[in-house]
A and B are shown apart, each in its own frame.
Chain A
Amino acid sequence: MPEESVLLDVEALPRLVGELRERGYTVIGPTVRDGAIMLAELESAADLPYGWGVETEAGRYRLRRRADNAAFAHSAGPQSVKDILHPPRARLWSADRATGSVTAGPDEPPRYAILGARPCDLAALGVLDRVFTGGAHTEPIYTARRDGAFIVAVECTEPGATCFCTSMGGGPDARDGYDLAMTELAGEHDDRFLIRAGSPAGAEVLAALPTRPAGTEVIGEARAAVARAAGAMTRSMPDEPLPDLLAAARESPHWTDVAARCLTCGNCTMVCPTCFCTTTEDVTDLTGEHAERWRRWDSCFDLDFSYLHGGSVRTSGESRYRQWISHKLGTWHDQFGSSGCVGCGRCIAWCPAGIDITAEAAALSAWRASEEEPC
């Protein structure tokens, strides 16, 4: 671990939220709303989902009461850090006829502190950083939000049934990309956090909190809990180079099988913490005096997404699912130098039809193996 870990009692969580708010951050964290863990601004630590757990399966997500009062022992909801830093809608510019003025960009974003980001969220942030800031032209809306952001990661001690981060090269432990990282040690009678800083900004906040030294025993306990989480994951991707698999599977009959189940509703792309595609819309008022151009999330499952002059290129469900998974697991490597998948499992849980990206990849792998068998 890069910095020394210290102990923070659950009673001190309000201090953490308070310190961040005092520093001018808009603190975003998990809350319970409408039967799911949803991200919202935290007025105080009292808004956190104490005592709530989550059961996930393909196409299913249910909150459940826990025996303990843990604040972060739940699987992520449909949202991710993407929802905050790459918002669903953003104004690109506005123009007024009367003054002839054009104003570029959205309003100045608040400085966000994101409390409770998971290690898979950190991995997703790394992916989005490469997408939006890695090339010759940085994307201004993401960059403006990202540059000022403060990330408090919480390591996972209980993976959801749909998680598979370890097989995507990640893990339930926070490795880098955070300002503060915490491991929650929730017992029936007490709730404590092992906390460490990962940046100078994090160290400064940590110094303002009422922490006490952690013994080697507690640190060992926390490490063991995170290690157990890594071992508890039941889903995984095929153990082979996925770009090769997807390239070899272009003509697989399995696409027809997926398409029979796929609703092409676009949910998987919108809950994916790395799917970043957008489109633009022009908006005018009735007087014609004021015009705005807005950017909104788009999806490769939308027919219009591949619309070129004369029509859409990917009209079938087969071609759209193949595009999504081939980019995510395959050509993303060529484009951005890593996989687009971090193994968070959101696309599995939040697909209304319960389509499982790990099962589809496994089916493609089995098909490929059967094709390569000597006759």
Chain B
Amino acid sequence: MTSAMPTLAVWKFASCDGCQLSLLDCEDELLAVAGRVRVAHFLEASRAVLPGPYDVSLVEGSITTPDDAERIRRVREVSRTLVTIGACATAGGIQALRDNADVAEFASVVYAHPEYIATLATSTPIAAHVDVDYELHGCPVDRRQLLEVLGALLIGRKPNIPAHSVCFECKQRHNVCVVVAHGTPCLGPVTRAGCGALCPAVSRGCYGCFGPAETPNYAALESVPGSVFLEVTRRKEQS
């Protein structure tokens, strides 16, 4: 019986571990997950590692070293379905700030012996290296979405992962628009839904942790009252 259960593997690349933690954070549903999948490789949860191949792999983090660029290929080879989780895995993460800077200079400032550091000049998403079946955005990913994808894969249906704006979720949960009613800068109109409009629900502007919506119109944000883009443009013009 147990041997027929689908296997789940969780992999970490350059990241903060927060997205893997979202899986352990599924406290109420964790036993249900454990009852439906065999956790075969999840170092944050257990030292026990089962050999592949794996039915579902959740991949956290971005590719920043030559070793990782090789390792992700091996992960892909042993994974039937590969789902990337979080901003690092789907977009390169905060560490992608290096992409437009001098990594050698960074390393010389941070490390006592930068000569020991083998790193790439860029931080790239998993999809830049291997085929990815589904992407879950967010920093960290949304627990509900993670369970939705796992549930959908277990039963063999298409997961609901909408790519429209956060505004859809705001209006459907009856949040008051923080841009229109408060003049608060908010990236919601250009940001991908999925979080359930968390920040606007507590009267804070969206800061875009889910990344761009399907067809973001950044230029149009400049016409939005209190727009952060407008502020950026103004400062550029002043300097």
Does the CB pair B164–A302 fall under 8 Å?
A: yes
Bitwise, B137-154 to A at CB < 8 A (1) or not (0) is 000000000011011101
Interface status of A281 (Cβ within 8 A of chain B): yes
Contact of A264 among B35, B147, B154, B217 (CB under 8 A): B217
Residues from 165 to 192 in B contacting A, C-beta threshold 8 Å: 165, 167-168, 171-177, 179-183, 186, 188-190
Interface status of B38 (Cβ within 8 A of chain A): no
Instruction: Point out the residues of chain A lying under 8 angstroms from B216, CB to CB.
Output: 263
Interface status of A145 (Cβ within 8 A of chain B): no
Interface status of A59 (Cβ within 8 A of chain B): yes
Interface status of A370 (Cβ within 8 A of chain B): no
CA distance A265 to B223 in the complex (A): 14
Instruction: Point out the residues of chain B lying under 8 angstroms from A261, CB to CB.
Output: 220, 223
CA distance A104 to B167 in the complex (A): 30
Surface stretch bound by A, among B48-56, B81-89, B124-132, B155-163: B155-163
Of A77, A283, A299, A302, most B-chain CB atoms within 10 Å: A302
Instruction: Point out the residues of chain B lying under 8 angstroms from A297, CB to CB.
Output: 168, 171-172
Q: How far is the CB of B158 from chain A (nearest CB, A)?
A: 8
Interface status of A137 (Cβ within 8 A of chain B): no
Q: How far is the CB of A334 from chain B (nearest CB, A)?
A: 28
Query: Which A-chain residue is minimally distant from B217 (CB atoms)?
Result: A263
Does the CB pair A263–B220 fall under 8 Å?
A: yes
Bitwise, A93-135 to B at CB < 8 A (1) or not (0) is 0000000000000000000000000000000000000000000
Does the CB pair B171–A78 fall under 8 Å?
A: yes
Instruction: Point out the residues of chain A lying under 8 angstroms from B33, CB to CB.
Output: 286
Interface status of A255 (Cβ within 8 A of chain B): no
Instruction: Point out the residues of chain A lying under 8 angstroms from B183, CB to CB.
Output: 60
Does the CB pair A260–B219 fall under 8 Å?
A: yes
What are 8 A-B contacts defined by CB distance under 8 Å? A34-B203, A36-B177, A59-B223, A79-B174, A265-B213, A352-B167, A352-B180, A352-B189
Given A88-B171, A88-B174, A284-B157: 8 more A-B contacts, CB < 8 Å? A34-B175, A59-B225, A60-B183, A77-B176, A88-B172, A266-B171, A283-B148, A304-B162
10 nearest interchain CB pairs? Answer: A265-B189, A270-B171, A88-B172, A34-B176, A263-B189, A265-B167, A265-B165, A286-B32, A36-B176, A302-B164
